[in-house]
Amino acid sequence: MLKKITVVGAGYVGEHVSQGLMLNELAEEVYLLDVVEDMPQGKGLDQRESAPVWGRDTKLIGTNDWADTAGSELVIHTAGRPRKPGMSRDDLLEANVAIVRPCMEQVAKQSPDALVMMVANPLDAMTYVAKNVTGFPRQRVFGMAGILDTARFRAFIAMETGVSVRDIQAMVLGGHGDTMVPLPRFTTIAGLPLEHWVSRDRIDAMVARAAKGGGEIVKLLKFGSAYYAPSAGVVEMAEAIAKNNHRILPCCAYLEGEYGHSGMYMGVPIMLGREGVLRIIEYPFNEDEQAMFDNSVHATKGLLSDVEKFL
């Protein structure tokens, strides 16, 4: 258990993250911070009042004041603006850099030893901004995306095969978006390869659905975006940190030569523990898989070059 975790942004994702942290008792104190006056205090109090029902002692506190977050061991940043009709990619990047940059300045000031987990989109670019602004080493700044993409892929496999999700092992890497890289060759059910259970054309259909999983949710909701699965992914990462159990999870991490690339964030398998990213695991890609990963890198580099204009 950690002493103190701060969740930045008390929207749908943030509030579900703070609730998940409390339910799993991952910290003695969880601070839910937002700029909207009184709103995080109300949500924090409501969640605090649910704790006796669940039998949990984690203290949930809502705040508008960064000073209350001082000394956090883990800061989870969920705050950001969704893309609206008429917004260009540059408009969205500029808007979210304007949110992330001052928040990360406060993190560096209030919690200079913290780990930083980014959740705001565009994820790979915003994680790059967080590292750039805080100046923290790469092992302490990372993002949640691959767990979400992998969870969606595993869910679709369970729907297709009827087996328990607990028996499905999978990994989705690459950038968070349409160029993500599902890896069916490394996907197994109870140790057997996926092709033992499902035909090639159905695998291709699930891969395509996973790549557009976020868009499918947005289309169905008509407004807003997913928050149950993203918040669950955040809590899984927070648990690996709080319990220091060295989980191997697909996360957004800074590359320094791994997979043939450097100077950028990408979704890769990492060993995650109390000190953050302990190690990046390199899968033995075949030619096609490396090409997909390189294509995802190329797309993400385009985002990063645009982000540089706003830093």
Q: Kindly list the catalytic residues.
A: 176
| Cα distance between residue 148 and residue 150, in whole Å | 5
Q: Measured between alpha carbons, how far is residue 193 from residues 2, 58, 161 in Å?
A: 38, 41, 13
Strands 247-256 and 262-273: antiparallel
Residue that is written with structure tokens 């258990």 in the block: 1
Sign of the C-alpha dihedral, residues 276, 137, 122, 205?
negative
CB atoms within 10 A of CB 154: 22
Closest alpha carbon to 6 in 81, 48, 61: 61
In angstroms, the Cα distances linking 9 to 73, 128, 192, 262, 307 are 17, 19, 41, 30, 21
Q: Are 121 and 99 in contact (CB under 8 A)?
A: no
Sign of CA dihedral 156, 191, 266, 143: positive
